[in-house]
C-alpha cells in the first residue's frame, strides 16, 4: 500500500522540481527587471518583487538608439520570414505535387542546406558584404536570414502541401479553375496553420541570430537587438535590473508567440525537425 | 497519401477552358510549359540559396588560400599563399587543443541532453494530464527563451555578487562559494555554459520523445505483458526499439547544434578567461575577425566544417539513403 502511494507520488514530485528548474531562469529575468535596485543587490535574494518598478525598463528603453534597434530587428525578421515563406511555398508546391527529373536531388540539397554551418562562415560573409559595400545595412541581414530559414520552410511546407488531398485541387480544376487559381483558392487557405507554425521557426531564427549581425552591423544605429544585448550588459556592468529589463524586452515577443501558438507551434517544429 | 495515382510528368492535367485547344494544335507548347513549371517554381529558392549560402561557402574556401590580414583587407589586395594557412593551423598546438576541447564539449553536452531529455520525455508519458501540462508549459517556456536572453540571464544567475546560485550554495553549506567567480576559471565557465545549453536543449528532446511515445501502439505492451514481461522488460523490448530511430536522429541534430554553439560561448565570456573556453567556431571567429587574420580564420572554418562532416557522416549517410529510397 505504502509503496504504491510512493510510486504514485514520486513522478509528480520530480515533475514539480523540473518545472521549477526550467521556469526559474525565465522567472528570475522578469522578477529582477521589475524589482527596485535595493531588492536586487540585497544580501538575501528577494524572491517575489512586491515593490514593483518600471525604472529598469526606462533605463533600457532610454539607451542610445534603442528604438532604432527594435525597428531594425523587427524589419529584418519580418521581411526574412515573409520572403522565405513566398519562395518556400513555390518550391514546396513543386516538390510535393509535381514529378520531374531531379526532384530527389533538390530535396536532398535542401536537407543539406538546412545543416549549413552559418556560424562558421561569418568571416567569408563579412568579406563578401564588405566588398559589396553593404556593411551596416539591413539588406544583407534580411537576405542571409531568408536563406537561413528557407530550407526548413521548404521541407516543412512540403509536408503540409502534401497533406492537402489532391482531389480537392483536381475537382477545383475540373470546375474550371486554372492551376494557379486552384492553388490560391483551395490549397492556400488550408495551408494557413502550416504557414503559421513554419513561420514561427523563421521568427525565432532571425530574431535570435547573433554572430552575423554582430560582425556586419557595428554602427549603433544599424545594430539588431541580439548583437546589442551583450554590449548593453558590458556597458551597464552590474546594473542587473536594466540588463534583465533589456533581456525581457528582447524575449517577450518570442515568448508570447510561443504561448499563443504553443500547441500548433510545438507540433509544427517537431514535425519539421524529425523529418530532417 | 496511401493511394497515389501516378501521373504524367507534365504536371497539370490539360484543363481546356475555351475552344482554343480543340484541334490539339496549341497542346505542345503548353505541355512544354508544364514540364518546365516545377523548375520555374524552384528557381527563386535555388538562386537565393546558391548566392547567399553556396557563394559564402565557396568564398570561404578561396579566402583560406590567401594571406589576408588587416593590411591586405584595407588595401583590397589579393595575395595567394597556397596551403600556408592550413600548414600553419595544422602545425599549431592551439588548433589541436581547441579541436579536442570542442569534441569533449560536444560529447558532454549531447550525452547530458539526450539522457536527461529522454528521461524527462518518459516522465511526461507517465504523468497525469494536469502535471504533464504543467511540466510541458515549463519546458516550452525554456525552449522559447531567446538564446542571447538566456545567456544574459545565466550571467546574472551565476554572478559573483548577488547571484542566486552563489547564495544558494552558501546557504546549503558551501560557505566558500559565497563570492565564487564562475567566469574566472576554465572549468567553472564551461560548467555555466554546459548548464545553459543543456537547459536550452532538453525541451526539444523531451517534448519530441514524449510525442513519439504516444505513437507506440498499445497492443505491443499488451502482447508483451501477456508474454510475462515486467516493466523493465517492456521498456527494453517495446519502448526502446520503437524510439531508436528517433533517438538517432535527435542525437545527430544535437551534435550539429552543440558543435557550432557559437552564440552562447561567445556571448557569455568571449571564449575567456584567457581564451580557455574557445571551441572551434569561436576560435575561427576570434582568429578571423577579432585578430584580423581573415585567411587563417577561413582555413580554421574550413577545417571545422570538415570535422563536422566527419562527426555526422554516419547519420548523414542513413538520412540520405532513406530519402533516396523513399
Which pTM was predicted? 0.87
List of residues 6+ apart from B219 with CB closer than 8 A:
none
In chain B, which among 48-87 make CB contacts under 8 A with chain A?
Answer: 48-49, 52-53, 55-57, 59-60, 63, 68, 73, 76
Confidence of residue A262 (pLDDT cuts 50, 70, 90): low
Say whether A173 and B301 touch across the interface (CB within 8 A).
no
List of residues 6+ apart from B1 with CB closer than 8 A:
A162, A163
B66 — phi, psi (to 5°)? -115, 150
Whether the link from the prior residue into B273 is cis, omega within 30° of 0, is yes
Q: What CATH number is given to the structural domain containing B279?
A: 1.10.3720.10
What pLDDT, on the 0 to 100 scale, is given for residue A267? Answer: 54
| Nearest alpha carbon to residue A225 among A76, A33, A34, A117 | A76
Confidence of residue A274 (pLDDT cuts 50, 70, 90): very low
Looking at the domain assignment, is residue B216 inside a domain? yes
Q: How many CB atoms lie within 10 A of CB B113?
A: 26
pLDDT above 90 (res B215): no
Looking at the domain assignment, is residue B23 inside a domain? no
What pLDDT, on the 0 to 100 scale, is given for residue A1? Answer: 46
Residues from chain B contacting residue A238 (CB–CB below 8 Å): 159, 161
Q: Round to whole Å and give the CA distance between A141 and A74.
A: 12
Say whether A41 and B161 touch across the interface (CB within 8 A).
yes
Confidence of residue B228 (pLDDT cuts 50, 70, 90): confident
Query: Across the A/B interface, how many CB contacts are shorter than 8 Å?
Result: 288
- B66 forms beta bridges with B80
Looking at the domain assignment, is residue B119 inside a domain? yes
Q: Based on the structure, what is the number of domains in chain B? A: 1
Confidence of residue B30 (pLDDT cuts 50, 70, 90): low
Q: Round to whole Å and give the CA distance between A40 and A240.
A: 8
Looking at the domain assignment, is residue B138 inside a domain? yes
What pLDDT, on the 0 to 100 scale, is given for residue A261? Answer: 73
pLDDT above 70 (res B155): yes
Looking at the domain assignment, is residue B221 inside a domain? yes
pLDDT above 50 (res B130): yes
Looking at the domain assignment, is residue B37 inside a domain? no
* Domain, as residue range, for B122: 89-325
List of residues 6+ apart from B101 with CB closer than 8 A:
B278, B279
Looking at the domain assignment, is residue B190 inside a domain? yes
Q: Residues A19-35: pLDDT tens digits?
A: 999 999 999 999 999 99
Stretch B218-244: mean pLDDT: 87
pLDDT above 90 (res B112): yes
Stretch B186-210: mean pLDDT: 95
Ranges of H-type helices in chain B? 27-49, 55-63, 70-75, 84-91, 93-126, 129-144, 147-157, 164-171, 186-213, 218-226, 231-234, 240-259, 262-269, 280-285, 294-325
Say whether B48 and A259 touch across the interface (CB within 8 A).
no
In chain B, which among 214-273 make CB contacts under 8 A with chain A?
Answer: 246, 249, 253, 256, 260, 262-263, 266-267
In chain B, which among 171-190 make CB contacts under 8 A with chain A?
Answer: none
pLDDT above 60 (res B19): no
Please tell me which of the candidates B38, B139, B281 has its beta carbon nearest to residue A119. B281
Please indicate if any CB of chain B lies within 8 Å of the CB of A1.
Answer: no
DSSP string, A30-73: HHHHHS-HHHHT-SS---S--S---HHHHHHHTSTTHHHHHHHH
Q: How many CB atoms lie within 10 A of CB B200?
A: 22
* ipTM of the modeled complex: 0.88
Map out the domains of chain A as residue ranges: 2-53, 65-275
Please indicate if any CB of chain B lies within 8 Å of the CB of A249.
Answer: no
Q: Which residue has the higher pLDDT, A261 or B220?
A: B220
- A52 forms beta bridges with none
∠ Cα B214 A268 B5 (to 5°): 85
Could you say which DSSP state residue B176 is in? G
Nearest residue of B to residue A16 by CA position?
B135
Confidence of residue B29 (pLDDT cuts 50, 70, 90): low
Residues from chain B contacting residue A254 (CB–CB below 8 Å): 144-146
Please indicate if any CB of chain B lies within 8 Å of the CB of A71.
Answer: no
Domain A65-275 top-level CATH class: mainly alpha
Highest mean pLDDT among A234-238, B14-18, B313-317: B313-317
Looking at the domain assignment, is residue B33 inside a domain? no
Q: What is the mean pLDDT of chain A?
A: 88
What pLDDT, on the 0 to 100 scale, is given for residue B13? Answer: 37
Q: Residues A210-254: pLDDT tens digits?
A: 999 999 999 989 999 999 998 887 787 778 999 999 999 999 999
As a three-state string, the secondary structure of A93-139 is HHHHHCCCCCHHHHHHHHHHHHCCCHHHCHHHHHHHHHHCCCCCCHH
B80 — phi, psi (to 5°)? -75, 140
Amino acid at each position: 500500500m505504502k509503496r504504491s502511494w510512493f510510486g504514485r507520488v514520486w513522478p509528480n514530485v520530480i515533475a514539480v522540481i523540473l518545472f521549477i528548474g526550467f521556469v526559474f531562469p525565465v522567472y528570475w529575468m522578469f522578477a529582477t527587471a521589475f524589482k527596485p535596485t535595493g531588492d536586487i543587490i540585497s544580501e538575501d535574494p528577494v524572491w517575489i518583487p512586491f515593490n514593483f518598478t518600471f525604472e529598469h525598463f526606462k533605463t533600457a528603453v532610454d539607451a542610445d538608439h534603442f528604438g532604432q534597434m527594435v525597428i531594425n530587428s523587427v524589419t529584418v525578421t519580418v521581411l526574412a520570414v515573409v520572403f522565405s515563406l513566398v519562395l518556400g511555398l513555390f518550391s514546396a508546391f513543386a516538390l510535393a505535387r509535381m514529378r520531374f527529373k531531379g526532384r530527389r536531388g533538390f530535396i536532398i540539397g535542401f536537407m543539406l542546406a538546412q545543416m549549413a554551418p552559418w556560424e562558421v562562415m561569418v568571416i567569408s560573409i563579412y568579406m563578401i558584404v564588405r566588398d559589396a559595400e553593404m556593411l551596416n545595412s539591413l539588406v544583407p541581414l534580411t537576405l542571409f536570414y531568408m536563406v537561413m530559414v528557407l530550407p526548413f520552410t521548404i521541407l516543412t511546407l512540403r509536408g503540409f502541401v502534401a497533406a492537402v488531398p489532391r482531389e480537392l485541387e483536381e475537382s477545383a480544376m475540373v470546375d474550371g479553375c486554372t492551376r494557379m487559381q486552384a492553388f490560391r483558392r483551395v490549397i492556400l487557405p488550408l495551408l494557413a496553420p502550416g504557414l503559421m507554425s513554419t513561420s514561427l521557426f523563421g521568427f525565432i531564427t532571425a530574431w535570435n541570430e547573433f554572430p552575423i549581425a554582430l560582425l556586419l552591423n557595428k554602427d549603433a544605429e544599424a545594430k539588431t537587438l541580439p548583437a546589442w544585448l551583450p554590449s548593453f550588459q558590458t556597458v551597464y556592468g552590474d546594473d542587473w535590473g536594466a540588463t534583465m529589463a533589456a533581456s525581457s524586452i528582447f524575449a517577450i515577443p518570442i515568448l508570447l508567440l510561443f504561448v499563443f501558438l504553443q500547441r500548433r507551434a510545438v507540433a509544427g517544429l517537431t514535425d519539421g525537425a524529425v523529418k530532417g | 497519401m496511401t493511394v497515389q495515382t501516378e501521373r504524367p510528368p507534365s504536371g497539370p492535367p490539360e484543363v481546356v477552358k475555351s475552344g482554343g485547344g480543340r484541334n490539339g494544335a496549341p497542346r505542345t507548347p503548353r505541355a512544354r510549359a508544364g514540364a518546365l513549371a516545377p523548375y520555374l517554381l524552384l528557381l527563386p529558392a535555388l538562386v537565393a540559396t546558391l548566392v547567399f549560402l553556396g557563394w559564402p561557402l565557396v568564398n570561404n574556401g578561396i579566402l583560406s588560400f590567401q594571406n589576408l590580414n588587416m593590411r591586405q583587407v584595407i588595401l583590397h589586395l589579393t595575395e595567394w599563399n597556397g596551403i600556408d594557412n592550413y600548414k600553419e593551423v595544422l602545425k599549431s598546438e592551439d588548433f589541436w587543443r581547441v579541436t579536442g576541447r570542442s569534441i569533449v564539449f560536444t560529447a558532454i553536452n549531447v550525452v547530458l541532453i539526450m539522457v536527461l531529455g529522454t528521461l524527462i520525455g518518459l516522465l511526461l508519458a507517465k504523468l497525469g494530464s494536469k502535471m504533464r501540462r504543467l511540466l510541458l508549459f515549463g519546458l516550452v517556456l525554456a525552449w522559447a527563451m531567446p538564446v542571447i536572453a538566456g545567456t544574459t540571464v545565466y550571467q546574472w544567475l551565476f554572478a559573483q555578487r548577488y547571484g542566486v546560485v552563489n547564495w544558494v550554495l552558501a546557504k546549503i553549506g558551501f560557505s566558500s562559494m559565497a563570492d565564487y567567480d564562475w567566469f574566472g576559471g576554465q572549468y567553472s565557465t564551461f560548467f555555466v555554459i554546459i548548464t545553459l545549453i543543456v537547459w536550452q536543449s532538453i525541451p526539444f528532446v523531451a517534448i519530441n520523445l514524449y510525442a513519439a511515445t504516444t505513437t507506440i501502439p498499445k497492443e505491443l505492451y499488451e502482447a508483451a505483458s501477456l508474454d510475462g514481461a515486467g516493466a523493465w522488460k517492456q521498456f527494453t523490448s517495446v519502448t526502446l526499439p520503437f524510439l531508436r530511430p528517433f533517438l538517432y536522429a535527435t542525437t545527430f541534430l544535437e551534435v550539429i547544434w552543440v558543435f557550432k554553439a557559437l552564440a552562447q560561448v561567445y556571448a557569455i565570456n568571449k571564449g575567456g578567461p584567457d581564451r580557455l573556453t574557445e571551441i572551434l567556431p569561436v576560435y575561427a571567429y576570434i582568429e578571423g575577425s577579432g585578430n584580423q587574420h581573415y585567411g587563417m580564420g577561413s582555413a580554421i572554418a574550413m577545417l571545422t566544417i570538415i570535422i563536422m562532416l566527419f562527426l555526422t557522416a554516419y547519420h548523414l549517410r542513413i538520412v540520405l539513403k532513406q530519402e533516396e529510397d523513399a
